[in-house]
Structure 1
Amino acid sequence: MIYKKREEPPQPQTELIASPNDDPLLTAKEVASILRVSTRVAYEIMDEVDFPLIRFKRQKRVAKNDFNLWLEGQKNQK
C-alpha cells in the first residue's frame, strides 16, 4: 500500500516590522555614511524642508524607503 504524506496547511507568514539586523529607520550617522559626508552635514541636510524627517524628541531619523525616494528626487533635479 502506498501512503501519501498529508499536506500541512500553509502557515501564515509573520513579517517583523523591525528586526535588530534590519532597522527600517536611518540615523544621521548612517545618512552621513551613505552620502559620504560628515555627520554635521548630514544633520544640515536632514533639516532641509523637503527632507522626509521623523523626529523622536531630539532624535532625528528617516525611513529607508523615504530616504531612497528623496535621494532619487535629488538626482532628478540636476
Structure 2
Amino acid sequence: MSVIPFPHPDPIPEPYDPLESALLSVLNNAPADGEPVKCPACKGSGEVSRSVRVGRRHRVVGQQTGLCLTCLGSGNAPTE
C-alpha cells in the first residue's frame, strides 16, 4: 500500500452550489450589449400555450394560446 503525499497533486473539488451554477450559466449565456434578453416563460414569442381539458375525466381536447403574464406579450425578460 502506498502513501499519498501531502499536498495531493489533484485539486480537491469545491462543494457543488446549485445557485452559483445557475448564476454562471445565466452569465455565460448573456446576449451582447443592447440585445434584449428573451423571456424564459414564452421563449421570446410573447404567447404561452395551455391544454384545454373537458369532461369529468379532464381529457385534453386541444391547446389554447394566451398572453404571457411574465413579459406581458413583449417577449423580453423583465428587468427586475
Give the TM-score, by structure 2 length: 0.29
The structure in which a higher percent of residues are strand is 2
The structure in which a higher percent of residues are helix is 1
Between structure 1 and structure 2, the one with the greater Rg is 2
